[in-house]
């Protein structure tokens, strides 16, 4: 019985996600649903990406957090349109939450919209919000066991960004295993090793994003 209820919720979510997608397509907008554990570097990646896309693409951001506006304030400093959603306890964004803020962004003026999901390696991957692609970040501080422990997010993502690669000399983490296991779950996942702190690898990610969003 409980399972039945859960699947109905997902069905309803799917319908609203399709409405959102139509609105995004109508505005000529490419949408990236950005997911990771708390602290993996979603907002830092967005800051780097927005700077890298300056003069190339008009970017907007929807920030999802349980509470607070810290991340939206960081994005606002870069002078791009940003809306904060507080889920009030929910550990993921759903399509209805995104639908409720569509009129708060100048969609027609934007080329790219990033939706920063709530920090959580589990259920954000289960809920479509109307995105074109999902992208996930894994910090190497989280360890190399995460792909096999949390397979769905790796299976759902078009790209895996392995962040904080600058910390590799200080950690007993097997980055090759992260790559191998992610590829075993999702052979077409595109993998980038980056450091949002030093800027290493960010260019390759941005180049791929521009290509992918234009194809």
Q: Which residues of this protein are in contact with Mg ion, per CB under 5 A?
A: 42-43, 71
Q: Which of 72/97 has CB closer to Zn ion?
A: 97
Q: How far is the CB of 126 from Zn ion (least distance, A)?
A: 8
Q: Which of 83/185 has CB closer to Mg ion?
A: 83
Q: How far is the CB of 14 from Zn ion (least distance, A)?
A: 16
Instruction: Give the one entry of Mg ion, Zn ion, none that residue 71 binds, where binding means its C-beta sits below a cut-off of 5 to 8 angstroms depending on kind.
Output: Mg ion
Q: Which of 94/181 has CB closer to Zn ion?
A: 94
143's CB contacts (< 8 A; 6+ apart) are 173
Q: How far is the CB of 34 from Mg ion (least distance, A)?
A: 9
| Contact between residue 42 and residue 65 where contact means Cβ atoms under 8 Å apart | no
Instruction: Give the one entry of Zn ion, Mg ion, none that residue 156 binds, where binding means its C-beta sits below a cut-off of 5 to 8 angstroms depending on kind.
Output: none
Instruction: Give the one entry of Mg ion, Zn ion, none that residue 42 binds, where binding means its C-beta sits below a cut-off of 5 to 8 angstroms depending on kind.
Output: Mg ion
Instruction: Give the one entry of Zn ion, Mg ion, none that residue 92 binds, where binding means its C-beta sits below a cut-off of 5 to 8 angstroms depending on kind.
Output: Zn ion
Where does this chain bind Zn ion (CB under 5 A)? Answer: 91-92, 123
| Contact between residue 116 and residue 50 where contact means Cβ atoms under 8 Å apart | no
If one counts every other C-beta atom within 10 angstroms of the C-beta of residue 45, the result is 23
């Amino acid at each position: 019985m409980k399972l039945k209820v859960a699947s109905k919720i997902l069905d309803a979510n799917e319908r609203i996600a399709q409405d959102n997608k139509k609105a995004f397509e109508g505005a000529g907008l490419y949408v990236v649903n950005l997911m990771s554990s708390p602290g993996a570097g979603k907002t830092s990646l967005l800051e780097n990406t927005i700077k890298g896309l300056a003069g190339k693409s008009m970017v907007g951001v929807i920030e999802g957090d349980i509470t607070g506006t810290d991340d939206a304030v960081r994005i606002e400093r870069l002078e791009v349109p940003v809306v904060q959603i507080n889920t009030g306890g929910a550990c993921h964004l759903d399509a209805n939450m995104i639908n409720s803020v569509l009129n708060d962004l100048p969609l027609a003026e934007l080329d790219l919209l990033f939706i920063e999901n709530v920090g959580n390696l589990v259920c954000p991957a289960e809920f479509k919000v109307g995105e074109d692609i999902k992208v996930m970040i894994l910090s190497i501080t989280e360890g190399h066991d995460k792909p096999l422990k949390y397979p769905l997010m790796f299976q759902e993502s078009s790209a895996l960004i392995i962040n904080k690669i600058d910390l590799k000399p200080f950690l007993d983490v097997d980055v090759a295993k992260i790559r191998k296991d992610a590829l075993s779950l999702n052979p077409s996942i595109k993998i980038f090793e980056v450091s949002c702190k030093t800027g290493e690898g960010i260019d390759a990610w941005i180049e791929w994003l521009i290509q992918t969003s234009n194809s």
